[in-house]
Each structure stands twice: as structure tokens, then as C-alpha cells.
Amino acid sequence: MSDTTEGDIGTTAAGNGALTGIRVIDLTRILAGPFCSKLLGDMGAEVIKIESADGDPVRRQGAVVDGFSWYFAEFNRNKRSVVLDLYSDTDKDVLAQLIGTADVLIENYRPGVLAKMGFTQERLDALNPRLIVASVNGYGSTGPYVDRPAFDFIAQAMSGFMASNGDPDGPARRAAAPISDLVAGLYCAFGVVSALQARTRTGRGQQVESSLTGGLISMLSYLSAEYFATGENPTRTGNNHPIVSPYGLFEASDGEIAVAPSHDTMVRRFLGVLGIAELLEEPDFKDNAARMRNRTALNAAINQVTRTQSVDHWIDVINKAGCPAGRIMELADVFTDPQVLSQDLKQRIDHPAHGPMYVTGFPVKLSDTPCTVQAPPPDLGADTDAVLRELGIER
């Protein structure tokens, strides 16, 4: 391919992923589970996605281009698709045979459903004692909410995440991205690989589980530490830092700049670049406590200077002075940013039937066994025949 500014497939030899040789049977659909199995596939695992004849509903959701859902593509590259009817005993037998060949089984049913389908933990143990059985669900598999249906928006509300976001006098705020799904999927992938490591010592598989609410609660650890220590809920502070000033968004001539001086040395660098470091000698601004009290006046003094130059100018000089600064970027800015392209965070896939498409790249880099896109998102059932043949089943 001629495009050298974006990552593309085929840059690394197949079969050299960190998880090469690991086989994952993937019963998940929609988002959290498929994100988990995608992460394992990106790392080189062979992922066999089991779908009903209708397919993962995501195949029909989001922006469908030329008959193909790019939402499906994003979360299902590096997978094979096998159609099975898990209401039929014949196909349940096929699943049982596949389980016998696998290292990992992933599901995101509500707790208990897999057992009701005939795959109790006892049976799974008997089929394959080395099997790691991974589950992603809403609330975990113990406790009073175990049977509740789950959804990202509810997990954002129930985890404390929403309540911490927003303006001091405004409502609690969700994040637009389904962050609880993806964090839960990432935790599950971490758990699966940790269980693989345990298996090298014990010779046995085990159960791994993560939940939308549990994962997002862990992402609040910084706020929770303060809550545990003081018994007080965090107060909403919009885009301002609750205990640091100056901090936040400031006005350049052509837009806003985000500046985050996390301690006094950085504050001095920031105001020094603006030519107003002498403010730090005044009683109103001499320390962080004084600057918190006089935040409005300080921000006005800063904006008076920052308004005289462009966003680009300030980001360059403030960073060079050693203080973190940046801009608020829309996705169109993100995916044309030279840094993001240098990090291969936009990946081109040439799908044999649907042509070029783009997906997010790899946020974790391994030098010798890098993540790669080795297979495009599969058409529904594209690998059914091949996988059945591998099992010695003729239909």
C-alpha cells in the first residue's frame, strides 16, 4: 500500500503475536465482550466468533457502508465467524468439540445463562480442564443485582462516574463514549492473559470475570481514595481542577488552550512563558491556596496575555517550557494529527469484498510481537465450513 502515514495490515509476519497459538471461542455479541476478544485477537490469538444465523446485531447497526457496518468492523477484525444454532443439540455438540480444542471461552450472557444452555462449569471442566472461562457482565455474578440487564448508561450512573462529572450547579453528566463497556472488556482481557500465566504454573484453567460497574468504579480510584479518607463525595467542578489553580481552558486568539500545571514549578513555567511570573510575588497569587481564592482574577490576567497569540503558538511554547498544554480536538483533528498517525492509531484494512476501511489501531505496543490486523472483519459464517472441517465434521 502506498499510504505511509497510516498503519496497515501485513506489516508484520502473521503468527508472531504475543498470543499466537492461543485459541479463543467467542460467544459474545454487541460491545463489551467483542472488545475483549478483539484485544486478544489483536495480540495474535485465534478468535472463533460463534454467531446465530442472524449474526451479531451490531452487523446491522451504526454506519453501514456498502452493506458493511463499520461499527462491526471496529470490534471484530482478527476474528473468524462460525454460524451455529445453539438451540440445536447437533450444534451444541460442535461447540463442545470446539471447547475441547480451545484455551479460552468468552461469553457475555447474563450470569447463569451459559449453564442453562448445558455448559455448566462442571461440564466445561470435563470437556477441557485447561479451559479459561471468561465472562463480561453488568454487575458481577454475585449480589442482589445479578439478574438485572446491563447497559453502559446505567453503569455510568451506578458507578459514581456520572455524579462526579459536570458543573458545580449543573446536573451529573455521562460520557458520550460507552466507557464502561470498553473498560470491562479490557479488564477481562487482562484477566484472561493473567489466567494463562497462572496456567503455566498450575496446568489448569479457571473462571475470569469483569463487570461494567466494577470496571468503571475502579477507574474512579483517585476520587474514591479521597472519599474513603474524608467520607465526603467529590464535588463537581466542570473543567476546573478542584484543588489546583491556574488550570483549565484559556483563550487564545483563534480558540482555546488546555493547560495543566500540576505543581508550583509548572505554574512558574507557565506564567513565565506568558511574561507574568511576577504575579506570583503578589499576596493574591503567592501560593495555590491564594490562587484558588482568586481564580477569576488570575484567569483574567492569563487570558489577557493568551488572547494575543494563536493556539499553535501557546501549545508550542508552553510545552517547551515543560508545562503540559494542548488543544480540544474533535475526532477529525485526532485522526489527522501527526502524533496519532505516527502511533498508527488509525489502521487501514483492505477488505477483499468491501474495499478499504479504517479502524482504530493499537494502544499498547509490543516491540517483538506487535499487535497487528491479520484478518479483516469476517462476513457472517465465512469460516463455518473451514472450522467444521478442522474438527473433522462433514456437512
Contact positions with its own copies (CB under 8 A) in 11-40: 17-22, 31, 35, 39
Q: Which is nearer to its own copies, 262 or 304 (CB)?
A: 262
Phi, psi (degrees; rounded to nearest 5) at 191: -65, -40
Name the one residue in this structure whose C-alpha cell is 445463562: 113
Calpha distance 250→257 (Å, rounded): 5
- Binders of its own copies among 76-135, rule CB under 8 A? none
By CB under 8 A, is residue 1 in contact with its own copies?
A: no
Cβ pair 219, 276 in contact under 8 A: no
CB of 367 to its own copies, least distance (A): 4
By CB under 8 A, is residue 393 in contact with its own copies?
A: no
Stretch that binds its own copies, among 77-85, 123-131, 167-175, 387-395 (CB under 8 A): 167-175
Buried b (16+ CB within 10 A) or exposed e, 114-139: beeeebeeeebeebbeebbbbbbbbb
Site track 228-247 with its own copies (rule: CB under 8 A), x = hit: xxxx-xx-xxxx-xx----x
Calpha distance 162→155 (Å, rounded): 9
By CB under 8 A, is residue 168 in contact with its own copies?
A: no
By CB under 8 A, is residue 386 in contact with its own copies?
A: no
**Candidate residues 1, 126, 328, 353; the one interacting with its own copies per rule CB under 8 A:** 328
Calpha distance 279→281 (Å, rounded): 5
**Quick one: 374 exposed, middle or buried, by C-beta within 10 A (0-12, 13-18, 19+)?**
buried
Cis-peptide, bond into residue 144, ω within 30° of zero: no
Q: Which is nearer to its own copies, 10 or 143 (CB)?
A: 143
Calpha distance 178→35 (Å, rounded): 11
Site track 270-299 with its own copies (rule: CB under 8 A), x = hit: ------------------------------
By CB under 8 A, is residue 154 in contact with its own copies?
A: yes
Phi, psi (degrees; rounded to nearest 5) at 122: -60, -45
Pairing of strands 207-211, 248-252: unpaired
By CB under 8 A, is residue 46 in contact with its own copies?
A: no
The one-letter code for the residue type at 364 is V
Q: Which is nearer to its own copies, 82 or 196 (CB)?
A: 196
Helix (H) or strand (E) holding 210: strand 207-211
Report which of 63, 213, 102 is spatially closest to residue 152, judged by C-alpha positions: 213
How many residues sit close enough to its own copies to count as binding (CB under 8 A)? 151
**Candidate residues 335, 350, 380, 381; the one interacting with its own copies per rule CB under 8 A:** 335
**Candidate residues 90, 202, 253, 308; the one interacting with its own copies per rule CB under 8 A:** 202
By CB under 8 A, is residue 314 in contact with its own copies?
A: no
**Candidate residues 183, 298, 301, 375; the one interacting with its own copies per rule CB under 8 A:** 183
Examine the residue annotation and report whether 241 is marked as an active-site residue of this protein: yes
**Candidate residues 86, 220, 290, 388; the one interacting with its own copies per rule CB under 8 A:** 220
The one-letter code for the residue type at 65 is V
Stretch that binds its own copies, among 2-10, 141-149, 281-289, 291-299 (CB under 8 A): 141-149
Calpha distance 374→228 (Å, rounded): 46
User: What residues are labeled active site?
Assistant: 241
